Structure 1
C-alpha cells in the first residue's frame, strides 16, 4: 500500500508524465519492428496527444492529472501553433508587392530595425516587373547576392513580359545559379529562412517567394581543441559553425548511411538541432527516443548544447554526466560507428552523444591511437587518479582523527609534530586549502590569458608557502591538497571532473563525522545510485554491471584486432565491427578452423596451411 501511494505521488508531481518516460529501456530495434501493431501501440503510449485523448475519452487506465496539466491551462503563449507562424499574420504570401512590404515591416519592425535590408529592383523583361530582395545584413553574403540574385534578374533576364506568376519556376530553375533555390508559398517558411541567412525574392503579382541560399556570416575557422588535448591524433575541434561541425564528422565517416535530421527547438528564437546516426546500424528505438525528447522541449531559446544536455538528462539530480559531450570530431565519429546518436546544437562547440556509460568518461581519443600496453597504462593511471582525487582528503581526515593506528608510528608522529602550531582542526585546515585551490582554478579560467601564468606563482608560492609559515596549515596537508589537485587534472571529461570535485566535499564531511565508516557508507550510496541509473535506457555501469558482451575496451585497452564486437548494451542492428581475421598473415592471431582442431586434437595450425582462404565478415 505504501509503495502504491509513493508511485501515485510521483505521477502526480512529475513535470510532464505524457512526455518524460523514466521507464524507457533500450531494446533490440529489429525485434521491436517485427510486429507493426506492437510498435504502433508503443508509440501511442509515448505520445502525449494519445495520452491526453485517453484521459478525456475515458478509455484505458485512468491516471492522476499531472501538475504540468494544471499549469498548462494558463500558458497559452507556449501553444504548438506558435511555432508555425506569428499570431495575427496570414499563412500565405500576399500577391501585391506593396502588401508584402507592409507585412515585412510588421514582421521585422523595419521602422526601428536596421539589420533587415529590403532591396527594390526591376526584373528586365519586355514589360518590367517590380521585385524586391530581402536579407539580413551580416548574415548573408553580399557578393553572392549581387552575382547570383540581382545581376541575373536585372541584366541577364530573357523572359516574355506577360503574367509573372507563370514564370516563377523558370526564374528559380534557369536564372538564379545558386546551389539551393526553392519556391515557398507559406509566410511561416519564408521568415525563418531570412533569419537563417537566406535571401527572399518577392515579385509583384506572385503569391510565392524564391529563397536563395546566401549564408555568409563571419565565424571562427576550424582550430585546435581547448579541453581535450592529445599528443597523438587529430588536433582539430568543433567550431561555432553548425554546418562546419557536421562536415567535420562526415569527412571522417564517408558513408552514405550517415543520416542527419534537423529539428528546430525554441518558440521565440528557433535553434537548429541536428541528430546524426548511421542508418542500418544504430538502434531505431534509440533514434526515436532521442527525437521524442528533443521535440518535447518547450523553451524560448536554446543557446548552447549545455542547456540541451540538462533537458535530456534522465535524472537531473545526478552529478555524473548522463550525456556525453566532446569537442573532438574523431570521438563523435568513433561513437557513431559503435551505434551511438550524435546531437549538434546551433553554434555550440560541443557535440553531444547518447547514450553514455561511466567508463567512457575516463577514456580519451588517444587511447585508440596508442599500442595496447601504453593505452592500458594511461587508463590505469587515470583510474588511480580518479580515486585519489575523490578520496585522498577524506582518507587523510579519517586517519588523522579516527584511525591513526593504520599508519606507521614514525609517520604518525611526524603528522602530529607538524600540526603542533596549527590552531584549526584537520577538517577546517583542509576545507581552507580546498577552497583556495578552487579559487585558483576558477581564477585561472576567467583571468585574461596574458596574465594567466601569474596565477600559478601566486597560488603555489605565495599562498601555499605563506600559509605554512604562518602556521595556518601543516606542510603535509599542502602536499595532500596539491596531489589531489594534480590527480583531478588527469580526468579527461570536464563534467566528470566537476562531479569529482563536488563529491570530494561530501566524502570529506562524511570522514569528519564517522571516519572510514562514513567513507564506506557514502561510497556504497554512490555505487547504488550509479548501478540503478540509466542513460537513454542503458545502465551507466554497463557492460560491467549488468554484465554484457563487449570488446576489451572498458577498464583496460585490449589489442586492436580484438575489438570485433560492438557493445551489447547498444543493441545495434549490426553486432560486429570488424572481421575476426584482421591479421591473416600472423600465426598468433588467425583462428584455427574447426575441422583442423578436431584432426590435430586442438593443436595450433599455422596460418600458412590455410593461406588464401577468403573469410567474410560476420
Structure 2
C-alpha cells in the first residue's frame, strides 16, 4: 500500500529542473563569453588571482555541470502556480527598418537588403545588377521574389526598356528628373508606384512586385509583376447547384474581388484593404455597398479587423473565429461561402463581406439563422419548387437532431405512444441484442461518424465507395451478429441522410454535436429531456447575436421582412431589404416592378416615374388610347349629328 501511494505521488510530481526556464541553451550562451565558456563575472574574479591550471579546470567543469544539476521534484500544483507567474518572452521578430529612407548609395542599400532578407542565404530573393543608359550611365538594382513574379513581364517590360532603350532620350525630356523620366518613358507597367521609404519597398517586394533602385536617386519604383501560379476558377465543392452559376472563389485575392465586381457593377461598391498578421501580412478586403450598408456596421467590422494583433492569418476560417461574438452557441455567427453570386446577393441586401488573401471562402456579416438553411438555387427556381425544397430542408434538420433521441425515448420510457404492433415488433427485434438502447445508438452513431470522416480524408476516387460499401457492410454484419436491431439501422440511416441535406458546412457540425446531446437527454429523462433540450437550444438561439443583430431575426424579435424565411414568395415580391440591418436604402425594388403586368397594376397601383423608358411608353400608350377613344367619341357625335341634321332638314 505504501508503494502504491509513493507511485501515485510520483505520478503527480514534476521534475522542475527539466521544465525550468533556467535550463535553456539561450541563457547558457548569454552567460558564456569566448571559447572558454566563462562569464564576465568569473573573468573579473579570476583576473586578480594567480593562474592555477588544475583549479581552473575544476572550475570550468563545475560551471559546465551546474545547468544540468537535477532539482528535487515538486508537486504538480506548485509547478502550475510557478508557471503562471512567469513572463512570456517573445523573440524572432522580423527586422524592422522603421521609417528609414532609401539610401542614395546602392552599396548601403544592398547592405540593408542583405540584413533584412538574410542574403545570400535566402535563395528566392533575386537582386539583379544592371546599368541604365541615362545621359550619365548609372548602376541600378532590380529586386524581386522568385516564384511570385511573372518573369516574362520583368524581361520584356522592365529589363529590356531600361537596358536597350534608355540611351534614346527625347528632346522634350531635357528638363525632367531621371526618376521621373524612367517612370514616364522607360517602364511601361500598368501599375508603377514611387517609394521613398525602405519599409514600403520591402512591403512591395513581399506582395509580388519588383522594385527598381537607381544609384544616387534615393527612391525606388515598385512595378506590378505579380504572377504566381494559382488555381483557376472551377465549380463549387461544398455548395453545388444544378441551376445557377458554376463558379467558385479561388486562392487568388484579386480574382475573388474581380468575381464580385463582375456581378455587381456599381460605383457604390467599396473595397477597403486591411493588412492583418505581423508575419504573414495577409490582405483582408472589407466589401460593402456605400449608401446601402449601415455605416455603424461597416465601422464595427473594420474596428474588429484592425484590432487583431496576431502573427499569422492563414485562412478565412481563422478570421471567422477571431471576429465572431463570444462563442455562446454551437451555431455559426458568421456565414462562410465559396460562391460569388451568393456574396453579391448579401451585399445588395446591405451585408458586409470579408475576403482573405489565399482563402477560397468569403465571410458575410451579420448572419441570420435562417440564411444557414437557404441556398442560392432557391432564388433561381420558381417559388413553389423553392418553397418545397426548403420545407424538406427544415424537416430534415429536425430529423437529424431529434430522431435518435426520440427512438431512445420511445423504447425506454414511452412505448405506449406508438402502435401496439410496432411496439411488439421493436421488442421482438431486440430480443437477441445484448446492449441497452443507448449503447446500441451510440455504437451506430460513432460508426457513421467514422465512415463520414474516412470518406473525407481518403482519396476522392475511392472515398464515396468506402462510405456506401462500409455503411452497408457494417450495418448488415451488425444485424446478423445480433449486436443491433434492424429498426435501429433504419433510424440511423434516415438520420444520416437528413444530416446530409444541411446546406451549410458549419451548421452540419452543430447538428452532429447536438444529436449526441439529445441522445444523452433522452436516455436520462425520455421525452421530457428532449423537450427541455429543445427549450434550452431555442433559448440559446434567441439570446445569441451576430455583430449586434439577433441570430433569429427577423422572427425573434419579429420584424417586417420579405416572404423569404421558411417559404419563399414570388421574385417580384422581394421588395424590401432586411429591416434588422438598418440599411440606408430600405427598398431593393419598386412595388410595381413588372409594369407590363396588368394584374399587378390593378392590385397595387403605383404612380409612374418620369423619365423612365417604360413609364414613357406607358404614358404614350395611355395617350394613344385616350386619343382613340376621343376620335371614336367624335365619330359617334358626328354620326349622331348627321342623323340629327337629317332630321332637322
TM-score, normalised to structure 1's length? 0.82
Q: How does 1:334-373 map to 2 (within 5 A)?
A: 334-373=345-384
Query: Is 2:97 the partner of 1:95?
Result: no
C-alpha separation between the residues in 2 aligned to 1:131 and 1:137? 19
Displacement of 1:76 after TM fit?
Answer: 8.5
Paired residues of 2:134 and 2:178 also in contact (CA < 8 A): no
Instruction: Give secondary structure in 1 for the equivalent of 2:386.
Output: helix
Equivalent pairs, count: 528
Displacement of 1:588 after TM fit?
Answer: 2.8
User: Which residue of 2 is the match for residue 155 of structure 1?
Assistant: 164
Instruction: Give secondary structure in 2 for the equivalent of 1:155.
Output: helix
User: Which residue of 1 is the match for residue 262 of structure 2?
Assistant: 251
User: Which residue of 2 is the match for residue 409 of structure 1?
Assistant: 420
C-alpha separation between the residues in 2 aligned to 1:366 and 1:251? 20
Paired residues of 2:101 and 2:198 also in contact (CA < 8 A): yes
Displacement of 1:166 after TM fit?
Answer: 3.2
Greater relative contact order, per chain length (Cα 8 Å cut-off, separation 6+) = 1
User: Which residue of 2 is the match for residue 509 of structure 1?
Assistant: 520
Paired residues of 1:258 and 1:277 also in contact (CA < 8 A): yes
Instruction: Give secondary structure in 2 for the equivalent of 1:342.
Output: strand
Question: In the TM superposition, what whole-angstrom CA distance separates every residue of 1:112-139 from its partner, at most 9, and x where no partner exists?
Answer: 1101100000001232110010000010
Instruction: Give secondary structure in 1 for the equivalent of 2:233.
Output: coil
Q: How does 1:419-568 map to 2 (within 5 A)?
A: 419-568=430-579
Query: Is 2:390 the partner of 1:391?
Result: no
Q: How does 1:9-24 map to 2 (within 5 A)?
A: none
Out of 115, 120, 127, which is 1:118 matched to?
Answer: 127
Q: How does 1:217-296 map to 2 (within 5 A)?
A: 217-296=228-307
Out of 385, 391, 395, which is 1:380 matched to?
Answer: 391
Out of 128, 132, 136, which is 1:127 matched to?
Answer: 136
**Tell me, which stretches of 5 or more residues in structure 1 are unaligned?**
1-70, 597-607, 614-618
User: Which residue of 2 is the match for residue 214 of structure 1?
Assistant: 225
Instruction: Give secondary structure in 2 for the equivalent of 1:130.
Output: strand
Paired residues of 2:592 and 2:606 also in contact (CA < 8 A): no
C-alpha separation between the residues in 2 aligned to 1:365 and 1:414? 43
C-alpha separation between the residues in 2 aligned to 1:404 and 1:169? 88
Change over 3 Å in CA distance of 1:380–1:109 after alignment to 2: same
C-alpha separation between the residues in 2 aligned to 1:404 and 1:164? 98
**Tell me, which stretches of 5 or more residues in structure 2 are unaligned?**
1-83, 608-617, 624-649
Displacement of 1:89 after TM fit?
Answer: 5.7
C-alpha separation between the residues in 1 aligned to 2:491 and 2:87? 55
C-alpha separation between the residues in 2 aligned to 1:490 and 1:389? 9
Instruction: Give secondary structure in 1 for the equivalent of 2:461.
Output: helix
Displacement of 1:193 after TM fit?
Answer: 1.1
Change over 3 Å in CA distance of 1:595–1:116 after alignment to 2: closer
Paired residues of 1:197 and 1:215 also in contact (CA < 8 A): yes
Paired residues of 2:304 and 2:323 also in contact (CA < 8 A): yes
Paired residues of 1:129 and 1:164 also in contact (CA < 8 A): no
Displacement of 1:585 after TM fit?
Answer: 2.6
C-alpha separation between the residues in 1 aligned to 2:110 and 2:188? 26
C-alpha separation between the residues in 1 aligned to 2:175 and 2:316? 45
Paired residues of 2:328 and 2:544 also in contact (CA < 8 A): no
Instruction: Give secondary structure in 2 for the equivalent of 1:582.
Output: coil
Instruction: Give secondary structure in 1 for the equivalent of 2:309.
Output: coil
Query: Is 2:325 the partner of 1:314?
Result: yes
Question: In the TM superposition, what whole-angstrom CA distance separates every residue of 1:299-329 from its partner, at most 9, and x where no partner exists?
Answer: 1010100000001110224210100000001
Displacement of 1:207 after TM fit?
Answer: 1.2
C-alpha separation between the residues in 1 aligned to 2:336 and 2:91? 29
Question: In the TM superposition, what whole-angstrom CA distance separates every residue of 1:414-451 from its partner, at most 9, and x where no partner exists?
Answer: 00000000000111101010000001101111100122
Change over 3 Å in CA distance of 1:593–1:482 after alignment to 2: closer
C-alpha separation between the residues in 1 aligned to 2:86 and 2:157? 49
Paired residues of 1:78 and 1:298 also in contact (CA < 8 A): no
C-alpha separation between the residues in 1 aligned to 2:504 and 2:621? 45
Displacement of 1:549 after TM fit?
Answer: 1.3
C-alpha separation between the residues in 2 aligned to 1:522 and 1:201? 65
Paired residues of 1:165 and 1:206 also in contact (CA < 8 A): no
Q: Which moved more, 1:315-324 or 1:341-350?
A: 315-324
C-alpha separation between the residues in 2 aligned to 1:249 and 1:159? 44
C-alpha separation between the residues in 2 aligned to 1:147 and 1:610? 60
Out of 180, 191, 205, which is 2:202 matched to?
Answer: 191
Change over 3 Å in CA distance of 1:107–1:375 after alignment to 2: same
TM-score, normalised to structure 2's length? 0.78
Paired residues of 1:123 and 1:131 also in contact (CA < 8 A): yes
Paired residues of 1:126 and 1:160 also in contact (CA < 8 A): no
Paired residues of 2:350 and 2:583 also in contact (CA < 8 A): yes
C-alpha separation between the residues in 1 aligned to 2:523 and 2:190? 67
Instruction: Give secondary structure in 2 for the equivalent of 1:216.
Output: coil
C-alpha separation between the residues in 2 aligned to 1:176 and 1:591? 64
Out of 134, 148, 156, which is 1:139 matched to?
Answer: 148
Change over 3 Å in CA distance of 1:193–1:202 after alignment to 2: same
Displacement of 1:73 after TM fit?
Answer: 12
User: Which residue of 1 is the match for residue 182 of structure 2?
Assistant: 171
Paired residues of 1:398 and 1:511 also in contact (CA < 8 A): yes
C-alpha separation between the residues in 1 aligned to 2:504 and 2:576? 25
Out of 199, 202, 215, which is 2:213 matched to?
Answer: 202
Change over 3 Å in CA distance of 1:595–1:408 after alignment to 2: closer
Question: In the TM superposition, what whole-angstrom CA distance separates every residue of 1:153-204 from its partner, at most 9, and x where no partner exists?
Answer: 1111135999999321221122111010010011111112101110000111
Change over 3 Å in CA distance of 1:179–1:164 after alignment to 2: same
Aligned-residue CA RMSD in angstroms? 2.5
Paired residues of 1:249 and 1:329 also in contact (CA < 8 A): yes
Paired residues of 1:391 and 1:504 also in contact (CA < 8 A): yes
Q: How does 1:4-43 map to 2 (within 5 A)?
A: none
